[in-house]
Structure 1
Amino acid sequence: MRENVRWMTEVALLAAFLSVAGAFKLPGLLPGTEFQLSAPLAVAICAVFGFAKYITAGLLSSMAGLMLGTQTVWNVGIALIFRCVVGAIFVLGGNWWLTVVLAGPIATITSRLVVGGILGNMAIPFVLAAVPGIIYTAITVWPLTILLKRITESGKKAIMYVVQR
Protein backbone atom coordinates (compact mmCIF):
# COMPACT_ATOMS: atom_id res chain seq x y z
CA MET A 1 0.00 0.00 0.00
CA ARG A 2 2.76 2.43 0.96
CA GLU A 3 4.61 1.76 -2.31
CA ASN A 4 1.44 2.47 -4.34
CA VAL A 5 0.97 5.80 -2.60
CA ARG A 6 4.62 6.67 -3.14
CA TRP A 7 4.43 5.67 -6.82
CA MET A 8 1.29 7.74 -7.44
CA THR A 9 2.74 10.72 -5.59
CA GLU A 10 5.97 10.63 -7.58
CA VAL A 11 4.11 10.30 -10.87
CA ALA A 12 1.77 13.19 -10.00
CA LEU A 13 4.69 15.42 -9.03
CA LEU A 14 6.59 14.49 -12.18
CA ALA A 15 3.51 15.21 -14.31
CA ALA A 16 3.10 18.62 -12.67
CA PHE A 17 6.82 19.29 -13.13
CA LEU A 18 6.59 18.39 -16.84
CA SER A 19 3.50 20.56 -17.31
CA VAL A 20 5.10 23.59 -15.69
CA ALA A 21 8.39 23.07 -17.55
CA GLY A 22 6.46 22.79 -20.82
CA ALA A 23 4.99 26.23 -20.22
CA PHE A 24 8.45 27.83 -20.18
CA LYS A 25 9.96 28.41 -23.58
CA LEU A 26 13.30 29.94 -24.48
CA PRO A 27 12.90 32.09 -27.59
CA GLY A 28 14.75 31.19 -30.74
CA LEU A 29 16.24 33.49 -33.35
CA LEU A 30 13.43 32.73 -35.80
CA PRO A 31 9.70 32.30 -35.17
CA GLY A 32 8.81 28.69 -34.39
CA THR A 33 12.27 27.79 -33.13
CA GLU A 34 11.56 28.27 -29.43
CA PHE A 35 12.80 25.65 -26.99
CA GLN A 36 10.61 23.97 -24.37
CA LEU A 37 12.37 23.11 -21.16
CA SER A 38 10.26 19.98 -20.84
CA ALA A 39 12.23 18.03 -23.49
CA PRO A 40 15.48 17.57 -21.53
CA LEU A 41 13.50 17.21 -18.32
CA ALA A 42 11.45 14.38 -19.86
CA VAL A 43 14.57 12.49 -20.90
CA ALA A 44 16.11 13.02 -17.46
CA ILE A 45 12.94 11.70 -15.81
CA CYS A 46 13.09 8.57 -17.96
CA ALA A 47 16.75 8.06 -17.05
CA VAL A 48 16.24 8.53 -13.30
CA PHE A 49 12.73 7.20 -12.62
CA GLY A 50 12.31 4.61 -15.37
CA PHE A 51 10.00 4.31 -18.34
CA ALA A 52 6.81 3.38 -16.46
CA LYS A 53 6.81 6.53 -14.33
CA TYR A 54 8.02 8.61 -17.27
CA ILE A 55 5.28 7.54 -19.69
CA THR A 56 2.55 7.78 -17.04
CA ALA A 57 3.64 11.26 -15.96
CA GLY A 58 3.90 12.32 -19.60
CA LEU A 59 0.40 11.10 -20.42
CA LEU A 60 -1.01 12.88 -17.36
CA SER A 61 0.83 16.06 -18.34
CA SER A 62 -0.51 15.88 -21.89
CA MET A 63 -4.08 15.28 -20.69
CA ALA A 64 -3.80 18.25 -18.33
CA GLY A 65 -2.44 20.41 -21.16
CA LEU A 66 -5.32 19.44 -23.43
CA MET A 67 -7.89 20.12 -20.72
CA LEU A 68 -6.34 23.49 -19.87
CA GLY A 69 -6.01 24.45 -23.52
CA THR A 70 -2.26 24.96 -23.36
CA GLN A 71 -1.58 22.12 -25.82
CA THR A 72 -3.10 21.10 -29.12
CA VAL A 73 -3.66 17.61 -30.45
CA TRP A 74 -0.54 18.08 -32.61
CA ASN A 75 1.54 19.00 -29.54
CA VAL A 76 0.31 15.89 -27.77
CA GLY A 77 0.97 13.73 -30.85
CA ILE A 78 4.54 14.99 -31.10
CA ALA A 79 5.00 14.46 -27.35
CA LEU A 80 3.68 10.88 -27.48
CA ILE A 81 5.96 9.94 -30.35
CA PHE A 82 8.85 11.64 -28.52
CA ARG A 83 8.13 9.65 -25.34
CA CYS A 84 7.89 6.31 -27.13
CA VAL A 85 11.14 6.92 -29.02
CA VAL A 86 12.94 7.97 -25.82
CA GLY A 87 11.73 4.79 -24.14
CA ALA A 88 12.88 2.65 -27.07
CA ILE A 89 16.29 4.32 -27.05
CA PHE A 90 16.71 3.61 -23.34
CA VAL A 91 15.69 -0.02 -23.89
CA LEU A 92 18.24 -0.40 -26.69
CA GLY A 93 21.05 1.74 -25.27
CA GLY A 94 20.67 1.34 -21.53
CA ASN A 95 21.06 4.12 -18.99
CA TRP A 96 24.44 5.32 -20.26
CA TRP A 97 25.40 9.02 -20.48
CA LEU A 98 25.63 8.95 -24.28
CA THR A 99 22.18 7.37 -24.47
CA VAL A 100 20.81 10.10 -22.21
CA VAL A 101 22.39 12.85 -24.34
CA LEU A 102 21.29 11.41 -27.70
CA ALA A 103 17.78 10.24 -26.74
CA GLY A 104 16.23 13.72 -26.82
CA PRO A 105 17.62 14.81 -30.19
CA ILE A 106 16.83 11.47 -31.86
CA ALA A 107 13.30 11.48 -30.42
CA THR A 108 12.73 15.09 -31.49
CA ILE A 109 13.85 14.41 -35.06
CA THR A 110 11.77 11.21 -35.25
CA SER A 111 8.62 12.82 -33.88
CA ARG A 112 8.95 15.78 -36.24
CA LEU A 113 9.51 13.49 -39.23
CA VAL A 114 6.45 11.41 -38.37
CA VAL A 115 4.15 14.40 -37.91
CA GLY A 116 5.63 16.11 -40.97
CA GLY A 117 5.02 12.94 -42.97
CA ILE A 118 1.40 12.87 -41.83
CA LEU A 119 0.89 16.49 -42.86
CA GLY A 120 2.63 16.10 -46.21
CA ASN A 121 5.93 17.55 -47.37
CA MET A 122 6.50 19.51 -44.16
CA ALA A 123 8.91 17.12 -42.44
CA ILE A 124 12.13 18.97 -43.30
CA PRO A 125 10.88 22.42 -42.15
CA PHE A 126 9.64 20.81 -38.91
CA VAL A 127 13.06 19.30 -38.25
CA LEU A 128 14.92 22.49 -39.21
CA ALA A 129 12.76 24.55 -36.84
CA ALA A 130 13.67 22.14 -34.04
CA VAL A 131 17.46 22.34 -34.51
CA PRO A 132 18.05 24.99 -31.79
CA GLY A 133 15.92 22.95 -29.38
CA ILE A 134 17.82 19.79 -30.29
CA ILE A 135 21.08 21.51 -29.40
CA TYR A 136 19.67 22.91 -26.13
CA THR A 137 18.33 19.49 -25.20
CA ALA A 138 21.63 17.74 -25.87
CA ILE A 139 23.49 20.32 -23.76
CA THR A 140 21.10 20.47 -20.79
CA VAL A 141 19.87 16.88 -20.39
CA TRP A 142 22.95 15.44 -18.66
CA PRO A 143 23.16 18.15 -15.94
CA LEU A 144 19.41 17.77 -15.37
CA THR A 145 19.80 14.00 -15.04
CA ILE A 146 22.56 14.42 -12.44
CA LEU A 147 20.43 16.95 -10.55
CA LEU A 148 17.38 14.65 -10.51
CA LYS A 149 19.54 11.73 -9.32
CA ARG A 150 20.91 13.82 -6.45
CA ILE A 151 17.45 14.99 -5.44
CA THR A 152 16.10 11.43 -5.55
CA GLU A 153 19.02 10.05 -3.52
CA SER A 154 18.76 12.77 -0.88
CA GLY A 155 15.02 12.14 -0.62
CA LYS A 156 15.61 8.43 -0.06
CA LYS A 157 18.23 9.20 2.60
CA ALA A 158 15.82 11.54 4.36
CA ILE A 159 13.09 8.89 4.34
CA MET A 160 15.49 6.29 5.76
CA TYR A 161 16.52 8.72 8.50
CA VAL A 162 12.89 9.41 9.44
CA VAL A 163 11.98 5.70 9.38
CA GLN A 164 14.92 4.83 11.64
CA ARG A 165 13.88 7.34 14.29
Structure 2
Amino acid sequence: MENNLNNDMRSDDHIESYKTNTTIEDLNKLLLMAEDASDKAKALSNEMIANKQKSYWILGGAYVFVNILVITVFFLDMAQYEYRRYLFVIFIGLGIVMAIPLLIMFANMRKKQMKLEEDIQIEYSVLTELLSLIHELDSFGRYVESIDSVSLATIRMRMKRLRFSLK
Protein backbone atom coordinates (compact mmCIF):
# COMPACT_ATOMS: atom_id res chain seq x y z
CA MET A 1 0.00 0.00 0.00
CA GLU A 2 2.85 2.33 0.79
CA ASN A 3 4.30 1.55 -2.62
CA ASN A 4 1.03 2.56 -4.30
CA LEU A 5 1.02 5.79 -2.32
CA ASN A 6 4.57 6.59 -3.49
CA ASN A 7 3.61 5.79 -7.08
CA ASP A 8 0.58 8.04 -6.81
CA MET A 9 2.75 10.87 -5.45
CA ARG A 10 5.25 10.41 -8.29
CA SER A 11 2.52 10.44 -10.90
CA ASP A 12 1.04 13.58 -9.32
CA ASP A 13 4.46 15.24 -9.45
CA HIS A 14 4.86 14.14 -13.05
CA ILE A 15 1.40 15.46 -13.98
CA GLU A 16 2.08 18.75 -12.19
CA SER A 17 5.42 19.10 -13.97
CA TYR A 18 3.74 18.30 -17.28
CA LYS A 19 1.04 20.91 -16.64
CA THR A 20 3.65 23.51 -15.75
CA ASN A 21 5.81 22.83 -18.79
CA THR A 22 2.79 22.62 -21.04
CA THR A 23 1.37 25.90 -19.73
CA ILE A 24 4.66 27.74 -20.23
CA GLU A 25 5.20 26.17 -23.65
CA ASP A 26 1.66 27.02 -24.69
CA LEU A 27 2.04 30.59 -23.49
CA ASN A 28 5.33 30.95 -25.36
CA LYS A 29 3.81 29.53 -28.56
CA LEU A 30 0.81 31.83 -28.30
CA LEU A 31 3.03 34.81 -27.55
CA LEU A 32 5.19 34.06 -30.59
CA MET A 33 2.09 33.84 -32.77
CA ALA A 34 0.78 37.09 -31.29
CA GLU A 35 4.12 38.84 -31.83
CA ASP A 36 4.13 37.65 -35.46
CA ALA A 37 0.58 38.92 -35.96
CA SER A 38 1.52 42.23 -34.35
CA ASP A 39 4.61 42.60 -36.55
CA LYS A 40 2.57 41.77 -39.65
CA ALA A 41 -0.10 44.32 -38.69
CA LYS A 42 2.60 46.97 -38.20
CA ALA A 43 4.16 46.14 -41.58
CA LEU A 44 0.74 46.33 -43.25
CA SER A 45 0.08 49.69 -41.57
CA ASN A 46 3.40 51.02 -42.83
CA GLU A 47 2.60 49.76 -46.33
CA MET A 48 -0.80 51.45 -46.16
CA ILE A 49 0.82 54.75 -45.15
CA ALA A 50 3.28 54.46 -48.05
CA ASN A 51 0.39 53.73 -50.41
CA LYS A 52 -1.43 56.86 -49.20
CA GLN A 53 1.70 58.95 -49.72
CA LYS A 54 2.01 57.67 -53.30
CA SER A 55 -1.59 58.60 -53.99
CA TYR A 56 -0.99 62.10 -52.59
CA TRP A 57 2.04 62.52 -54.87
CA ILE A 58 0.01 61.38 -57.87
CA LEU A 59 -2.83 63.71 -56.90
CA GLY A 60 -0.35 66.58 -56.53
CA GLY A 61 1.14 65.84 -59.96
CA ALA A 62 -2.31 65.77 -61.52
CA TYR A 63 -3.16 69.06 -59.81
CA VAL A 64 -0.01 70.70 -61.18
CA PHE A 65 -0.68 69.30 -64.67
CA VAL A 66 -4.29 70.56 -64.69
CA ASN A 67 -3.22 74.00 -63.45
CA ILE A 68 -0.54 74.31 -66.13
CA LEU A 69 -3.05 73.19 -68.74
CA VAL A 70 -5.69 75.70 -67.57
CA ILE A 71 -3.21 78.56 -67.34
CA THR A 72 -1.88 77.77 -70.81
CA VAL A 73 -5.37 77.61 -72.30
CA PHE A 74 -6.29 80.85 -70.52
CA PHE A 75 -3.27 82.68 -71.94
CA LEU A 76 -3.87 81.23 -75.40
CA ASP A 77 -7.44 82.47 -75.23
CA MET A 78 -6.20 85.97 -74.48
CA ALA A 79 -3.76 85.86 -77.36
CA GLN A 80 -5.24 86.10 -80.82
CA TYR A 81 -3.82 83.01 -82.47
CA GLU A 82 -5.24 82.02 -85.81
CA TYR A 83 -5.19 78.29 -84.93
CA ARG A 84 -6.54 78.70 -81.45
CA ARG A 85 -9.22 76.02 -81.90
CA TYR A 86 -6.65 73.42 -82.86
CA LEU A 87 -4.59 74.22 -79.79
CA PHE A 88 -7.68 73.86 -77.56
CA VAL A 89 -8.42 70.46 -79.09
CA ILE A 90 -4.79 69.40 -78.58
CA PHE A 91 -4.82 70.50 -74.92
CA ILE A 92 -8.17 68.87 -74.21
CA GLY A 93 -6.98 65.66 -75.90
CA LEU A 94 -3.76 65.79 -73.89
CA GLY A 95 -5.79 66.27 -70.71
CA ILE A 96 -7.97 63.26 -71.50
CA VAL A 97 -4.95 61.12 -72.36
CA MET A 98 -3.33 62.06 -69.04
CA ALA A 99 -6.55 61.59 -67.05
CA ILE A 100 -7.16 57.97 -68.11
CA PRO A 101 -3.90 56.54 -66.66
CA LEU A 102 -4.34 58.65 -63.53
CA LEU A 103 -7.84 57.29 -63.00
CA ILE A 104 -6.59 53.73 -63.52
CA MET A 105 -3.76 54.31 -61.03
CA PHE A 106 -6.19 55.76 -58.47
CA ALA A 107 -8.55 52.81 -58.90
CA ASN A 108 -5.68 50.33 -58.42
CA MET A 109 -4.39 52.21 -55.38
CA ARG A 110 -7.88 52.28 -53.87
CA LYS A 111 -8.25 48.51 -54.34
CA LYS A 112 -4.84 47.97 -52.76
CA GLN A 113 -5.80 50.29 -49.89
CA MET A 114 -9.01 48.35 -49.25
CA LYS A 115 -7.11 45.03 -49.32
CA LEU A 116 -4.54 46.37 -46.85
CA GLU A 117 -7.29 47.62 -44.52
CA GLU A 118 -8.95 44.20 -44.67
CA ASP A 119 -5.66 42.42 -43.94
CA ILE A 120 -4.96 44.76 -41.01
CA GLN A 121 -8.42 44.08 -39.55
CA ILE A 122 -7.81 40.33 -39.87
CA GLU A 123 -4.44 40.59 -38.13
CA TYR A 124 -5.90 42.70 -35.34
CA SER A 125 -8.75 40.24 -34.80
CA VAL A 126 -6.23 37.37 -34.70
CA LEU A 127 -4.11 39.36 -32.27
CA THR A 128 -7.11 40.13 -30.06
CA GLU A 129 -8.11 36.47 -29.97
CA LEU A 130 -4.56 35.37 -29.19
CA LEU A 131 -4.32 37.92 -26.39
CA SER A 132 -7.51 36.59 -24.82
CA LEU A 133 -6.15 33.01 -25.00
CA ILE A 134 -2.86 34.15 -23.52
CA HIS A 135 -4.70 35.95 -20.74
CA GLU A 136 -6.69 32.80 -19.92
CA LEU A 137 -3.53 30.66 -19.82
CA ASP A 138 -1.74 33.33 -17.80
CA SER A 139 -4.61 33.35 -15.29
CA PHE A 140 -4.39 29.56 -15.10
CA GLY A 141 -0.61 29.79 -14.68
CA ARG A 142 -1.01 31.98 -11.62
CA TYR A 143 -2.86 29.15 -9.88
CA VAL A 144 -0.22 26.56 -10.70
CA GLU A 145 2.21 27.00 -7.86
CA SER A 146 5.20 25.34 -9.49
CA ILE A 147 5.56 27.91 -12.31
CA ASP A 148 8.44 30.19 -11.49
CA SER A 149 7.71 33.88 -11.16
CA VAL A 150 10.42 34.85 -13.64
CA SER A 151 8.65 33.00 -16.45
CA LEU A 152 5.34 34.60 -15.55
CA ALA A 153 6.94 38.06 -15.34
CA THR A 154 8.58 37.58 -18.73
CA ILE A 155 5.28 36.52 -20.25
CA ARG A 156 3.45 39.49 -18.73
CA MET A 157 6.07 41.93 -20.09
CA ARG A 158 5.76 40.44 -23.56
CA MET A 159 1.97 40.76 -23.28
CA LYS A 160 2.24 44.45 -22.33
CA ARG A 161 4.32 45.10 -25.45
CA LEU A 162 1.65 43.46 -27.54
CA ARG A 163 -1.10 45.51 -25.95
CA PHE A 164 0.72 48.71 -26.89
CA SER A 165 1.11 47.59 -30.49
CA LEU A 166 -2.58 46.70 -30.67
CA LYS A 167 -3.68 50.30 -30.15
TM-score, length-scaled by structure 1: 0.30
Which has the bigger relative contact order, CA under 8 A and spacing at least 6? 2
Q: Which structure: greater helix fraction? A: 2
| Greater gyration radius | 2
TM-score, length-scaled by structure 2: 0.29
